[in-house]
Amino acid sequence: MSITAQDVNKLRKMTGAGMMDCKKALTEANGDFEAAIDLLRKKGQKVSASRADRQTSEGSVFVHTNAEGTEGTLIALNCETDFVAKNEEFQDLGKHVLDLAISNSPQNVEALQALPSGDLTLGEKIVEMIGKIGEKIEISAYERLSAEAVVGYIHAGSKLGVLVGLNGGNGSEVGPAGKDVAMQIAAMNPVAVDKDQVDSSVVEREMAIGREQAIAEGKPENIVDKIAEGKLNKFYKDNTLLNQPFVKDNSLTISKYLDGIKQGLTVNDFRRVVIGG
Q: Are residues 40 and 122 in the same domain?
A: no
Taking residues 263-273, what's their average pLDDT?
Answer: 97
- Looking at the structure, do residues 58 and 97 belong to the same domain, yes or no? yes
CATH number, domain with residue 36: 1.10.8.10
* End residue of a domain, out of 19, 34, 50: 50
Based on the domain organization, do 65 and 125 belong to the same domain? yes
Check residue 86 and give its pLDDT: 95
* pLDDT at residue number 153: 98
Number of separate domains in the chain: 2
Predicted confidence band at 276 (pLDDT cuts at 50, 70, 90)?
A: confident
Average pLDDT, stretch 109-113? 98
Beta strands in 54-125 (DSSP E): 58-65, 71-79, 116-117, 120-121
Considering the domain architecture, whether residues 118 and 71 belong to the same structural domain is answered as yes
Examine the fold and report which residue of 146, 174, 192 is the final residue of a domain before the chain moves on: 146
End-of-domain residue from the set 93, 114, 146: 146
Q: How do residues 138-188 score in pLDDT, each as one tens digit?
A: 999 999 999 999 999 999 889 999 999 999 998 778 999 999 999 999 999
Cα-Cα-Cα-Cα dihedral sign, residues 33, 39, 45, 51: negative
- Whether residue 259 lies inside any domain: the answer is no
pTM: 0.86
pLDDT for 2 beyond 90: no
57/105 same-domain check:
yes
- List Cβ neighbours of 228 (8 Å cut-off, separation of 6 or more): 206, 207, 208, 209, 210, 211, 213, 214
Residue 136 has pLDDT above 90, yes or no: yes
So what's the pLDDT on residue 228? Answer: 96
142 and 56 inside one domain: yes
Supply the range of the domain harboring residue 27. 5-50
Query: Are residues 40 and 68 both part of a single domain?
Result: no
Q: Is 269 a member of any domain? A: no
Mean pLDDT, the chain, rounded, equals 94
